[in-house]
Structure formats: structure tokens, C-alpha cells
A and B are shown apart, each in its own frame.
Chain A
């Protein structure tokens, strides 16, 4: 209880009651529909910095935009050569890893964001993954989370694009986030951070809803809620197609 109270006190100290600079945000779309022909999309994130006073002196304002997919636990496995063949041996459980994560900044990440601020707000890609710890017998457990990031970066679902946010007159900013075709359903938390000299001066949270619609939604729902019916329907379609093919080609032969 005391720990909680001190935490609240700390948070109150940290958060200024009125921020000198605030984000006013616009999104080109706040929901994304996955249709049958869905092939990835791009959302435009733009906004302005609202101030009551003149632009403060010192380092210029920088903007970081993050878009995250739904997080889920994962298992990362490593192959080793056993009896001449490559077999999965060691495995590390990752508690939470987003299915998609994009970080876009207005400058090199290490310059616009300090390490402590990154830790506090979990902004960069490695921070977005939470791994409580590997079993004791596994050496070099970090290589597993590194591998997770490497594989997902290669698949373009983890993106770090430095300099992708353009800021004009220290007031207006805009960026486009590319969402790949292989997208999972869910709420995509989107965060915008304003930083000066590596420190976060203001942040703004919103969510983009990604959901399957139409036929996609219906089929997915059916497969989860009525799996038996879905299975029987799959079979019926298969049998009908098989019958139709043989009937059509019998006509050809005749």
C-alpha cells in the first residue's frame, strides 16, 4: 500500500499539471477494415503542437510516433544439430510481444530520445517486448529476443524509420505508417511523443481499430464459434466442387 502511495506521489511530481506543449492529432483513418482484397495500407498521422506561449529556446522539438499491434505471448525456439539433423532444442517464453510495431521519428532515435525516457515510456522496438526471463540452463538468453526482433524486422512487421516524421516550424508534423498485408485483428495503440533534448515533454495516446469485415469476419467468427459447422461446411464445399468438376468434364467428354 505504501509502495503504491509513493508511486502515485512520484507520478504526480513527474507529470506537470499543465503541459506547456500539447499534441493536437489527426488520423487519415481511425479504423482499418480487412476485406478479402486487403493488401496492406498506409495511415497518415498528422498534427500540430499547441502552445500557450512562444516557442521555448533550446533544442528543437522532435516527434516520435509508435503504432503497436495486439500483444501476445510467444515462444522463441533455437535449432541445434542433434544426431546429424537440425532440431529445435532450447526455447524461451516471451511474455508479451506486439504482432506489429512501428517506430517513426523525426531524427536519429538515440538523439531524440534518451535511454531513461525510452525505459520509462517503452518506446523503442526492444523495449516493446517484455520477457521476464529465460530458464536458468539457457545461456545467452538475450539472443532469443534479438532473434525475435531480427525475424520480425525482416518480415517488415517491426519497423524503425528514423527521420520519417517531418516537422515544420516546430509546430506541424506528419508521417505515414505502412501497415503490412499480414495484419492481425485488434486495437492498435498509437502514441505520439514530443521530445526536447531527449526528454519527453508531452505525449498523446489513441487507438486504431483493425478488424476483419464482411466475408472475412463471418468466416473467422464461424471457425471459432461453430467449429463443427465450419468444418462440415468446408467439407460440403469440397465435395460439391469435386462433383461439379467431374460433372463438367463429363459434359466435355460427351
Chain B
């Protein structure tokens, strides 16, 4: 069944979109990430204009994160105080990100920036996660307990604040910076930033794993909601029909994925996620390095 998207001005198969939403939803449910980093490139691939894909994906992430955070609130695994600090950084970052996005769109370099961001971040995060989980699997096999709670340079910074749910007493500067970085990425890449936020919270801030996903989802809702509004009012690129089709598939897939995820070990899950992240990264890197089949591209006029 073909459906005409009013803002993207292209006609696509509705079942294809539902299916894509569903598959990405399953993966996001399994791994506790928004799935934007997979969905946005897939949308490029089926011919949605990049600007519409980025803006619409932000809107879809609002839905999936909201669905997820409700479950976490019930289990009291959301650090609202930490979430708020991250959020302040995130909103500043999102505003900066949309400004950068619009500037580069006018320069004709937005595709390059988006792809470079993907390659760099997916490569670094995927690589780190892969080796970390490999080590974790090796350690559990040899029976050594994993080392925890190291004091590093982050604990020497000023403006300390107590985060009771996370059991932390640290400076607000690192969470603010993490928030800004994720906000910028959310606006430029059309992702919630969970795949960056989650490792940053565990490894940089030293938060306990059980509150990380909920807290990350909590702040992602607000950052992506803000990004959606900015894109809707400055670029007019949020396609609500596209978003609805994706999120229907997405929320159903997420619930299925959660069940699959429960049955797997944490290290196995992380290694699978790492491999997936690296695969997407490799594909995008090849696109940048190999000579494209069409050297020319058409864009809207303007400087």
C-alpha cells in the first residue's frame, strides 16, 4: 500500500515503513537504545530527504523514549536530579546543533557532517563497547570479580552535587558537558543519543548501570521534543505521517525486543550491539571513502 507523505513529498510503501519501525523497535528494545542511529540511515536509503528524515526521527524517538521511561519510573530507576542536569546541557546543545545544522545545510555540507558524525561516533563507541564486553566475558569465565569504583580526575572538579538515586557525589560539569554533546548530536544526526549517553554515564560519570537507561531516556524525551519543535518551526521538515507509521511499528517492536533481551546475558547483548554499531559505521565509512557512482547532487537553492 503506497502512501504519500505530505512534507517529504514522496510516496512510499506503508508496510515497508511499519516493518522498518518494527525491526528497529525490536533492536532498541533488546539493547535499550532509541534506535535512531539505525533508523535515520535507513530512511536516507529508502529515499526520504535527509532533512526530513533527521527531523522526523527526532519526533519518533519522543514516542519510544516516553514509552520506555514510564516503565522505568515505575521501577524507580530514573535519577531525576541527574536527568535534569543532563537536560539543561542537552537543551543548550540541541539549540546549538540546529544552528550548526542550518548553517551547514546552506553550505551543502550537511550530508557530509551527518555521515562524519556517524562514522566517528559509531566507530569509537562500537569499538570501546566491543573490547569492554569481550574483556567482561573473559573475566566472568576466569572467575575474577570486575573491578569497580575507581577515583579518576573527574572527582577533582568543583561545583559538586549529590545525586542520591545514583549514589554519587560529583561535580555538575561533566554531566553538563555530556548533555551538551548529546544535544548537538541529537539535532544534527536525528538520534536520541542513547548510544553515546549510556556509555558516557557508565564509564565517565560512574553511574550504576540500573539507573542509566531510565535516566538517559528521561532526558532524551525532552531533548528530542525540543529538537522536533526547532526543526518544525525553522525547517518545516517534520513529517507527521511518516512519524506515525514509524512509531506504530517501533513501539510494538520495542516490546517484543524487551522480551528477547531479558533472555540474553548482558555481555552478549553488548557485544551484539557493538557489532551492529560497527557494521553501520563501516557501511557509512565506505560511502565516504569509495568513489560515489554519481558525483553530482541536487539541492535547494540558497547560500
Counting CB contacts under 8 A, is A197 at the interface?
no
A144 touches B296 (CB 8 A): yes
Counting CB contacts under 8 A, is B70 at the interface?
yes
The closest CB in chain A to the CB of B71 belongs to: A246
B71 touches A151 (CB 8 A): no
User: Shortest Cβ distance from A157 into chain B, in angstroms?
Assistant: 11
Interface string of A134-163 (1 = CB under 8 A from B): 000000000110011011100000000000
Interface size for B (C-beta < 8 A) is 57
Contact of A75 among B62, B108, B291 (CB under 8 A): B108
Given the known inter-chain contacts A242-B66, A246-B71, please indicate yes or no for A77 contacting B299, CB distance below 8 A.
yes
Segment with Cβ contacts to B, from A4-12, A106-114, A221-229: A221-229
Docked complex: A93-119 residues within 8 A CB-CB of B:
93-94
B7 touches A220 (CB 8 A): yes
Counting CB contacts under 8 A, is B51 at the interface?
no
User: Shortest Cβ distance from A146 into chain B, in angstroms?
Assistant: 9
Docked complex: A3-49 residues within 8 A CB-CB of B:
34-40
Contact of A231 among B111, B232, B255 (CB under 8 A): B232
Counting CB contacts under 8 A, is A55 at the interface?
no
User: Shortest Cβ distance from B139 into chain A, in angstroms?
Assistant: 34
Interface string of B1-31 (1 = CB under 8 A from A): 1111011011100000000000000000000
> Complex Cα distance A86/B295, Å?
9
> Complex Cα distance A181/B11, Å?
6
B11 touches A39 (CB 8 A): yes
B109 touches A88 (CB 8 A): yes
B240 touches A234 (CB 8 A): yes
> Complex Cα distance A216/B255, Å?
31
Interface string of B110-138 (1 = CB under 8 A from A): 01100010000000000000000000000
User: Shortest Cβ distance from B102 into chain A, in angstroms?
Assistant: 14
B301 touches A93 (CB 8 A): yes
B7 touches A223 (CB 8 A): yes
B299 touches A241 (CB 8 A): no
Counting CB contacts under 8 A, is B38 at the interface?
no
B255 touches A249 (CB 8 A): yes
B contact patch SS: helix
Counting CB contacts under 8 A, is B67 at the interface?
yes
> Complex Cα distance A232/B244, Å?
14
Chain B residues closer than 8 Å to A143, beta-carbon distance = 296
Chain A residues closer than 8 Å to B248, beta-carbon distance = 241
B240 touches A237 (CB 8 A): yes
Docked complex: A197-252 residues within 8 A CB-CB of B:
212, 215-217, 219-220, 223-224, 227-228, 230-235, 237-239, 241-246, 249
Counting CB contacts under 8 A, is B233 at the interface?
yes
The closest CB in chain A to the CB of B69 belongs to: A242
Chain A residues closer than 8 Å to B297, beta-carbon distance = 76-77, 79, 88, 151
The closest CB in chain A to the CB of B244 belongs to: A237
Given the known inter-chain contacts A77-B108, A230-B232, A245-B255, please indicate yes or no for A212 contacting B59, CB distance below 8 A.
no
User: Shortest Cβ distance from A29 into chain B, in angstroms?
Assistant: 17
B63 touches A242 (CB 8 A): yes
> Complex Cα distance A223/B116, Å?
30
Counting CB contacts under 8 A, is B292 at the interface?
yes
Contact of A235 among B62, B112, B116, B295 (CB under 8 A): B62
Counting CB contacts under 8 A, is B236 at the interface?
yes
> Complex Cα distance A36/B245, Å?
13
Counting CB contacts under 8 A, is B300 at the interface?
yes
B296 touches A219 (CB 8 A): no
Counting CB contacts under 8 A, is B147 at the interface?
no
Docked complex: A150-179 residues within 8 A CB-CB of B:
150-152
Chain B residues closer than 8 Å to A249, beta-carbon distance = 255
Q: What residues make up the interface of A, taking CB atoms closer than 8 Å to B?
A: 34-40, 72-81, 84-88, 91, 93-94, 143-144, 147-148, 150-152, 181-184, 212, 215-217, 219-220, 223-224, 227-228, 230-235, 237-239, 241-246, 249
Q: What residues make up the interface of B, taking CB atoms closer than 8 Å to A?
A: 1-4, 6-7, 9-11, 59-60, 62-68, 70-71, 108-109, 111-112, 116, 225, 228-229, 231-233, 236, 238, 240-241, 243-244, 247-248, 251-252, 254-255, 288-292, 294-302
What 8 additional pairs, Cβ within 8 angstroms, besides A74-B300, A85-B288? A77-B298, A152-B298, A181-B4, A184-B9, A223-B6, A227-B233, A238-B59, A243-B70
**8 shortest A-B CB distances, which residue pairs?**
A231-B232, A181-B11, A242-B66, A245-B251, A147-B296, A73-B301, A242-B67, A238-B63
